[in-house]
Copies of this chain bind each other. A is one copy, B any other.
């Protein structure tokens, strides 16, 4: 993701671009769907409270996506649209881009769809 556009989004919402926010973004760029603790390790220079607040801000701005994959909350950069494959055996999480969703087949009217999330649970190749 272009840092430039992220900075634009942050400023666009009236927030400031601070070293702490950049550090969190850098930490998030290292790996998708990290837990708070994992992120924290990657940017130990940022205080815990600030980390919570920063993730809130980045989520609000649309740069970060908050996930709930069964174990606690996880966070990832919202660069591309993708879904998750979660192995119930080893806990491994992987992504896939193909969206096997046929929204046309969804028999719902009167609802303006803005986003969706799909998680698939099962057993990964290694665990079978």
Chain A residues in the interface with B (C-beta under 8 A): 66, 68-70, 85, 87-88, 96, 98, 100-108, 110-125, 128
Contacts and interface: CB of A to CB of B under 8 A. Distances in A.
Contact of A98 (B105, B117, B119): B105
Contacts of A123: 111-112, 114
Contacts of A113: 120-122
A88 B108 contact: no
A5 to B, nearest CB: 23
Contact of A122 (B88, B102, B114): B114
A13 to B, nearest CB: 17
B116 A121 contact: yes
